[in-house]
Chain A
Amino acid sequence: MAQENSMAVPDFLSKAEILKQGAEARVYRAQFLGKPTIVKQRFPKRYRHPTLDEKLTHRRTVQEVRSVLRCRKAGKFSSISQRAVEILHFHFSSGIPAPVVYFVDYTSHCIFLEEIIGSSTVRDHIMSTQQSDSCKELELERLAERMGHILAKMHDEDVIHGDLTTSNMLLRCSLENGESDLVLIDFGLSYISALPEDKGVDLYVLEKAFLSTHPNTEALFEKLLKSYTAASRKSSAVIKKLDEVR
């Protein structure tokens, strides 16, 4: 009885639109509970021993959703009373935007997440901005500053993203003021760590991806690091480790 009904998610996905197929997982788009949803399915790897595969896949799924929630909850104030926080809340910056998780099916290793509508990747945005006129330089600098700021918050929360690239950051247009929200996605390789080495490597991965995808952006990345250093409480150790690897 239990076996036959664990086909619900795979059956549902067989009719959904495939967006991407990676080495680790397949990404679909579908309507779920009336909302546009992204489904990330980690499929079995036949080259692995089945017991090991199950354990590994399960662990990766769990780590991914834990990191998403940890990012969204970022900035706990355990020593200040909730009332004090409410009074002062306009002084505090916002948390780290990541997609909302709607549902996790541990049988099929699928994560059902909010689809961020009306967004483009930072990668696409930088590319299209560079191809147009150069008065947009300031806008890219501002973007780099925001990226540094968000990554600082994430690392201060001891979340290591593990796969930082400009394709894993989305710009979501918010309607009110026309300004875009930066949203981090794809926490598939993420984990929790307080070590400056891990954070340094996280930034190193981004630097390599950034400079190889977007030519002539060394100065832009420096702006990102400057913003990171200013926004993070633990940045000096991290930057030191980054310089060691670079």
Chain B
Amino acid sequence: MHLTHELELFPDHSVTQLLFKEVKNAAELRQSAVAGKINGALINPTMLVDPFQVLVAANKAVNLEKTGKMKTRSLYSEIIFNLSPTNNISEAFKRFGISDGDDSVLVVLVHNKDQPQLLSDITAAVNGRQVPVEDISSLSDQTKIRKLYKITPQEEKCGTLLDAVVCRMAIKDVM
């Protein structure tokens, strides 16, 4: 169901993604996240193309945390910020963080190897149905994604949408 990947650059850090549909308590979750009570990043899955996109954001966030160069205040807000093609933090939260009316949410956790407690804490907190993370492509709003990342049709002819998105995420701080 959930997807866990151990970061090659930071072997004691694993990134776990959990996807939920039919979420009824998005507002409550968002408030908890803002209050710092949730140990994870809550992301709007309609803006995501593939779980790899999240890994790229998480890897960059952990790297910046380790070197003390994060642009935002916490690792989880940094992950959300890294998904955005721009360097505007509040815009990133608005577009990629969850909103009160959302009915789906992707939760991202960064943790040491095996921490089943973390997973069960999250599944308990979310009032929704957990689905395989691979289902995320069925939730992607490709039109919205193309518009936000300003992706041209030519670009998609020589690469995938995921390629275009990841490239912008990786280079945005120097563009």
Chain A residues engaging chain B, CB cutoff 8 angstroms: 1-2, 5-6, 8-9, 12, 30-35, 62, 65-66, 68-69, 72-77, 82, 85-86, 89, 92-97, 100-105, 107, 112, 114, 181
Mask, B143-175, CB within 8 Å of A = 1, is 000010000111101110001101110110011
- A100 near B59: Cβ-Cβ < 8 Å: no
Closest A-B pairs by Cβ, 10 of them: A94-B157, A5-B66, A89-B153, A95-B154, A97-B158, A2-B68, A101-B170, A94-B158, A100-B163, A33-B55
Residues of B close to A105: CB separation below 8 A: 63
Residue from the set B55, B66, B171 with the largest chain A CB neighbour count within 10 Å: B171
Residue from the set B7, B8, B147, B164 with the largest chain A CB neighbour count within 10 Å: B8
Closest to A92 in B: B154
- B166 near A100: Cβ-Cβ < 8 Å: yes
Measured in the bound complex, the distance between the Cα atoms of B66 and A74 in whole Å is 35
Closest to B65 in A: A5
Interface presence of B56 (CB below 8 A): yes
Measured in the bound complex, the distance between the Cα atoms of B7 and A30 in whole Å is 13
Interface presence of B129 (CB below 8 A): no
- A69 near B168: Cβ-Cβ < 8 Å: yes
- B9 near A8: Cβ-Cβ < 8 Å: yes
Which residues in window 1-25 of B have CB below 8 A to A?
Answer: 5, 7-10
Measured in the bound complex, the distance between the Cα atoms of B10 and A75 in whole Å is 38
Q: Do A33 and B56 form a contact, CB below 8 Å, given A6-B67, A66-B175, A95-B157?
A: yes
Closest to A70 in B: B175
- A69 near B171: Cβ-Cβ < 8 Å: yes
Mask, B55-73, CB within 8 Å of A = 1, is 1100110010011100000
- A65 near B155: Cβ-Cβ < 8 Å: no
How many residue pairs bridge A and B at CB < 8 Å?
A: 105
Residues of B close to A104: CB separation below 8 A: 170-171, 174
Chain B residues engaging chain A, CB cutoff 8 angstroms: 5, 7-10, 52, 55-56, 59-60, 63, 66-68, 147, 152-155, 157-159, 163-164, 166-168, 170-171, 174-175
- B170 near A77: Cβ-Cβ < 8 Å: no
Which of B55, B66, B68, B147 lies in contact with A8, CB distance below 8 A?
Answer: B66
The secondary structure that dominates the B interface is helix
- A72 near B155: Cβ-Cβ < 8 Å: yes
- A33 near B168: Cβ-Cβ < 8 Å: no
Closest to A153 in B: B154
Measured in the bound complex, the distance between the Cα atoms of B66 and A65 in whole Å is 23
Closest to A15 in B: B8
Closest to A9 in B: B9
Measured in the bound complex, the distance between the Cα atoms of B155 and A102 in whole Å is 17
29 contacts between A and B (CB under 8 A): A12-B8, A33-B5, A33-B8, A33-B52, A33-B56, A33-B59, A34-B52, A62-B174, A68-B167, A69-B167, A69-B171, A72-B158, A74-B154, A82-B147, A85-B153, A92-B154, A93-B154, A94-B154, A95-B159, A96-B158, A100-B163, A101-B167, A103-B59, A103-B60, A103-B63, A104-B170, A104-B174, A105-B63, A112-B170
Residues of B close to A73: CB separation below 8 A: 152, 155
Measured in the bound complex, the distance between the Cα atoms of B175 and A2 in whole Å is 25
> Given contacts A31-B8, A95-B158, A104-B171, could you give 18 more A-B pairs where the C-beta distance is less than 8 Å?
A8-B66, A33-B59, A65-B171, A66-B175, A69-B167, A69-B168, A74-B154, A74-B155, A75-B155, A94-B154, A94-B157, A95-B155, A95-B157, A96-B158, A103-B59, A105-B63, A112-B170, A181-B158
Closest to A58 in B: B174
- B171 near A101: Cβ-Cβ < 8 Å: yes
- A76 near B55: Cβ-Cβ < 8 Å: no
Residues of A close to B147: CB separation below 8 A: 82
